[in-house]
Amino acid sequence: MTSPAKKLTPMMQQYLEVKSKLPPNTLLLFRLGDFYEMFDDDARVGADVLGITLTQRNGQPMAGIPYHAADGYIQKTLKAGMKVAICEQMETPKPGQLVKRSLSRILTPGTTLEDQHLDAGRNQYLLACNWTKRGLSAAWLDLTTGDFQIAASPAINGLINVFHALDPREIILPEEALEKWRAEDDTAEWSEEIERLLQGRTDSTMMPWQFDPRDGARLVMETLGVMNLDGFGIALDHPGLGPAGALLAYAAENLCSKPENIRRIREYRSSDTLQMDPSTLRNLEIFRASQGTRKGSLIEAMDATTTAPGARLLEQVLMEPPLDIAELKRRQSCVGEFLSAPGLASELQEYLRGVRDLPRIVGRLRNGLRNPREPGAIRQTLHQLPHIKAVIEQFDSPELTKLAADLNLFPELLELLDSALNDSLPNQIQDGGFIADGFDAELDRLRDLNRNSRQWIADFEAAEIKRTGIKSLKVKFNNAFGYFIEVRKSNLELVPDDYIRKQTVTNAERFYTPDLKEKEREILHADEKAIAREESLFADILAAVLENADSLEQTAHCLSEIDLFVGWAQIAREWNYSRPEIDESSATEIEGGRHPVVEQMMREQRQKGIPGEHDFVPNDTFLSADEAQISIITGPNMAGKSTYIRQVALITLMAQVGSWVPAAQCRIGLVDRIFSRVGASDELSQGNSTFMVEMNETANILNNATDRSLIILDEIGRGTSTYDGLSIAWAVVEHLHGHGAQGPRTLFATHYHELTQIEGELVRTRNYCVAVKEWNDQIIFVRQVQRGAADRSYGIQVARLAGLPDTVINRAKVILSRLEDDDSSHNILRKRMRARKDGTPEKDIPQLELF
């Protein structure tokens, strides 16, 4: 026989009602006085994730965190990929009454706005995507800044590159979409790509109808406050409006109100930007090094920004390198101006250190997250603007003149903030004390009342003693009865008629007067009234700030550009970078190029006293789609082939974001895509071996490269047998060369020395090798790339450097000698190479029919 259900208290009924409306994987923090409490399963999960004590009351699991320390616990929960719902008390608790509570926010990794939960230097994208018969549609939103974009592609993989570059914190999909896509042949590939993207990220689902483009268009227009989207160049039937509507609905659900900081929407067009697929982003270590950290990545090597918006702008320009030569030259010119005036650039950086994160501050204020430190941070920034503008105006370039013109100074707003706010500001409005003395007469009166209450009581007591003649009269206070006048019973005959009896005690009577009662009410409520008055004044201050919100955001963008360009100038000065020439040609010409990351790491090692090479050896590069299209690069392991081909790709990317580059001279013909197949890795969880991953990445390159692409390939075909691998590598080079007049600029590093024979077969192919010197059976790496082919791999010498036992090294030499003497087709290729190098007549060179 089951026991009767336990009767729920009104408070628990309230809790369960709120909990029932929350999405899965959401912890509910329920405000009870000075604590946020969790119950039942939430308590168990919360205790485990947060490392707090799990308790019980009447058999019910409970776990709580202090209200004032909640931010740290919330941040920990979000990092664990979970969501947090906040249920707040909406009124002051009263004895015997249930406190009104309501859901105030749902915090998720992609929708949190609180500064302490964010990475200041990274964008915080929330991504929604869908696949229908019309193709792939997507939208992404950084709710902290209002950056809002939509995109569409008829191809399954048309936008997956962009998604990886965005590195979204949270992804929204239609409910059960993955299962549906996985089951259908034409979308199975798309589901695999999405599943890869979801790894390590928070995902959420919404109903499929919420991705409808018509409903999305309506919601987008409603959010932007417009009648149509013509002003944004977006048609009302754009497929991306479906995911955009889902994003806005999800944001409104979590904010518990409509997002108020979204002012514009733009369409992302892949044809406007240089594209890089996920493997290229990974292989070139654009945003993260191979260890998964920012240190050792290109973005770290290019980051000398001072402000958080500047760091985020760097991330954005690397995500979307423009194909607009005019824009690239504008950026280069700004960098050049700051490079030419190091004193002014240094002065700018000093002022920029006082600039705060205006885009995110304005975003929080627009969405109702308000605390006194936000306008304080705006005030601090506004104080820097006249200095920054004055420095910028000292430059003559039209690009910087335009930036200076777009910097608003907001003198009236600054005057208001200076006069209204104290120097030291609390984190919570409820704490009070943030409005400056002298700003508001009524607030000053309330504060004076509170500060001077003791003096008023002392003066009142003295006046009453003089008026009544009762020298033992005392004005006292206690929590139960408030203020009162105490008169000993022996002096009761002297009590005036206007005294009103309040209480009788053993040896005295207690009285009050109307004046004392009124003063008591004022004193006891002065603090409360002062805070209420401050809140009212604060609302007026915020209204003044929000009236300037659009201009503040425009000014913030100017500041972030200045920060980025000054930082690039600092790097160019420190590392001797040059301004690249960008044009519409199909050529890549680099004189004295260096790898930006490796060069910096080598200096760092030298400064730390770590032994090894400390000076980077520069190298030249020439590629062109119609002349020297393919460079076959041979040389031993560790000689620098991979570093060399990577540096060419990185220099190209740096040039196409507008930065100066690590080279003596550089000319880059715009490339539409950079492809990279580098290194060995597997995807065992997807059932893909190292060789399969290599072939997948190679297939992607061959199927998508154009004549304007740049391709770097390292060791194609090394994951299978020698003959298979050589055959594939040879065929890949032939395919890239093609039968037309031009093809994608390609750097192909390989240990298959046989491939150097292609130079005689394909007219746009050139052989290069990384030079080494031999001495006493040892090799010395010169790191110099030169014309011609390497005659062997020096693998045994490299093995000796790695520390293999001498017995192994000596035995390997014997085996190598025997293998080189055989007459297999593989070795005939090698013998042909050596014979030609030695000047053997062509009739005496061993022949091999390859075609």
Known binding-site residues for ATP equal: 635-642
Q: With DSSP H G I counted as helix, E B as strand and the rest as coil, what are the percentages for the chain, rounded to 5?
A: 50, 20, 35
Overall residue count recorded for the chain in this entry: 851
Structure-block tokens of residue 623:
């590629």
Give the whole-angstrom CA distance, residue 42 versus residue 40: 5
Paired strand residues for 780: 773
What pairing do the DSSP bridges indicate for beta strands 275-276 and 474-478? Answer: unpaired
101: β partners: 89
DSSP summary character for residue 649: H
The rounded Cα 495 to chain-centroid distance in angstroms is 74
Question: Which of 137, 112, 142 has the alpha carbon at shortest distance from 124?
Answer: 142
Letter for the amino acid at 686? Q
Structure tokens that stand for 561 in this block: 């550009």
Residues 6+ apart with CB under 8 A from 488: 472, 507, 508
Buried b / exposed e over 510-520, threshold 16 CB at 10 Å, is bbbbeebeebb
- DSSP H or E segment with residue 188: helix 185-198
Helix (H, G, I), strand (E, B) or coil at 503: strand
Specify the DSSP class assigned to residue 171: E
**529 close to 355: Cβ distance less than 8 angstroms:** no
Residue whose token pair is 């005295």:
508
Q: Say how many Å lie between the first and final Cα of the chain, rounded.
A: 86
Residue entry with tokens 């119950």? 39
Residue 684, judged by CB atoms within 10 A of its CB (0-12, 13-18, 19+), counts as exposed
The strands making up 587-593's β-sheet, listed across from edge to edge, are 581-583, 665-669, 587-593, 619-624
Please report where in the chains the tokens 């000065």 appear, as a residue.
Answer: 573
User: Which amino acid makes up residue 135?
Assistant: G
Distance CA 330, CA 274 (A): 18
Question: E strands within 143-236?
Answer: 147-153, 170-174, 202-206
- Numbered residues of the known binding site: 635-642
Q: What's the per-residue H, E or C state across 286-327?
A: CCCCCCCCCCCCHHHHCCCCCCHHHHHHHHHHHHCCECCHHH
On whether the CB atoms of residues 228 and 221 are closer than 8 A, the answer is yes
76-112 b/e with 16+ CB inside 10 Å = b? ebbeebbbbbbbbbeeeeeeeeebebeebbbbbbbbb
